[in-house]
Amino acid sequence: MRVAVIGAGVIGVTAALALAERGHAVTILDRQGVASGASGGNAGAFAFSDVIPLATPGIMKKAPAWLLDPNGPLSIPPAYAFRIAPWLLAFFKASLPARYGDAVVAQGALMGHSAAALERLVKTCDLEELLRREGQLQLYEGEREFRASLPGWEEREAVGVKFDLLTRPEAIAEIQPGLSPRFTHAGFTPDWKNVTDPALWTTAIADRAQDRGATFVRSEITDITPTENGVELTGSDKSLVFDKVIVAAGAHSNRLTRTLGISLPLETERGYNVTLPEGAFDLRTHVTFAGHGFVVSRIGDGIRVGGGVELGGLDLAPRMSRADALLAKAARFLPELRTAGGRRWMGFRPSMPDSLPVIDLAPGHSRVILAFGHGHLGLTQSAGTAEIIADLVDDTPPSIDITPFRATRF
């Protein structure tokens, strides 16, 4: 079967690999190149313990503050506030207790499936050397912040996440020395994994897909037109026809689905980071500063400081002051951090109001499959999503229930 995958990020290329391994003739189409967006600039984590949606009960009480702190963990630029209002309404509905609870369960199921799929992928494609199995340390400032986090740890435990809660500073220092004494409590997830470099990982997956017969075409797809016998894609230079098409264009996916008459509440989490050179800090595990919305991870021989959520769409200019603010905080929290020589970056993460991706046949168009909206969990859920996509292409029931990820849920 001739299958096109629109998007050469980690979701797209991992799906292309899964399809090529099943014998399909796969073409990957992207307007730039492999790992040119968020898949190349993220923190490099397989965050299987991150089952808590962004839309938690009561979060909308904090919404006014988002407009007042442009460098806070979650912000909305004033110039974008009116445009995002419909998404925020859906976000509010997703934060209601029943919807929130369902989202945690669904996220847990996809995480479990994706964790197992990752191990299959690593084994069959010989990718172990690109992994770091060093766990993750989630830090809290004081007893009060730690106790406020406990319901979230209980929800993680309910969906099978393994962790240790640490209440002694010396126990925290055994895992990661060099932290500010303001962090007195922590949760450690030992099964957490990172890639050595997300761009290198995504490129390696794309290379293996091409080794199995997939081809890459640089083309900006502007229109998707189902026909009687297939799907026609209009590109920047020519049109191509395929039996089935996967839309995995991340934050840009809505621009394509609208050509099918489908509009989904897909927004853009603009993520910022600074990557410091070798020798910046002796980092031994992935560190999450829970109350401040950012992480520190090893990328290659360097250190990446990044995170936060800016709901600002695709067109506003980057506000690199957010990256600078993250680095300044990291310097306070890691007193031995050397901050010179950093490279700043901003990327677009595709975000749905309930923090669940869309993995589904396009409504009314069974030859088109949607695979986007993973937020900051694209790398984490890539292997599991790829297996589900391959099942949908083959008209085979996926191994988990994908009802929570249907495009029609909104």
**Per-residue pLDDT tens listing for the chain (410 residues):** 999 999 999 999 999 999 999 999 999 999 999 999 999 999 999 999 999 999 999 888 777 777 668 888 888 998 898 999 999 999 999 999 999 999 999 999 999 999 999 999 999 999 999 999 999 999 999 999 999 999 999 999 999 999 999 999 999 999 999 999 999 999 999 999 999 999 999 999 999 999 999 999 999 999 999 998 899 999 887 899 999 999 999 999 999 999 999 999 999 999 999 999 999 999 999 999 988 989 999 999 999 999 988 999 999 999 999 999 999 999 999 999 999 999 999 999 999 999 999 999 999 999 999 999 999 999 999 999 999 999 999 999 999 999 999 999 98
- Give the pLDDT of residue 69: 80
C-alpha dihedral over 245, 251, 257, 259, to 10 degrees? -110
Burial of 64 (0-12, 13-18, 19+ CB in 10 A): exposed
- Give the pLDDT of residue 323: 95
- Give the pLDDT of residue 206: 98
The CA–CA distances, whole Å, from 15 to 193, 286, 387 equal 21, 27, 7
Locate 28 and state its tokens: 């990957």
Q: Helices 97-125 & 85-94, crossing angle to 10 degrees?
A: 90
Q: 365-372 and 244-247 as β-strands: parallel, antiparallel, unpaired? A: parallel
DSSP labels, 87-100: HHHHHHHHTSHHHH
Residue with tokens 């445009």: 83
Residue with tokens 């303001």: 182
Superfamily name and number for 2-409: FAD/NAD(P)-binding domain (3.50.50.60)
Locate 13 and state its tokens: 């290329």
First to last CA, the chain: 31
Query: Are 281 and 336 within 8 A, CB to CB?
Result: yes
Which amino acid does the sequence have at 294? Answer: F
Residue extents of the structural domains in the chain: 2-409
Helix (H) or strand (E) holding 351: strand 343-351
SS3 14: helix
d(CA 74, CA 65): 9
Residues ≥6 apart with Cβ < 8 Å to 126 = none
d(CA 176, CA 336): 12
- Specify the DSSP class assigned to residue 133: -
Per DSSP, what are the bridge partners of residue 188? 137, 164
d(CA 13, CA 28): 7
Locate 403 and state its tokens: 């009802």
d(CA 64, CA 253): 29
**E-strand stretches of 78-141:** 131-132, 136-140
d(CA 275, CA 327): 9
Residues ≥6 apart with Cβ < 8 Å to 130 = 195, 196, 197, 200, 201, 204
- Which residue, among 408, 403, 307, 317, has the nearest Cα to 103 in the 3D structure? 403
Q: Give the pTM.
A: 0.96
Burial of 92 (0-12, 13-18, 19+ CB in 10 A): middle
- Give the pLDDT of residue 67: 66
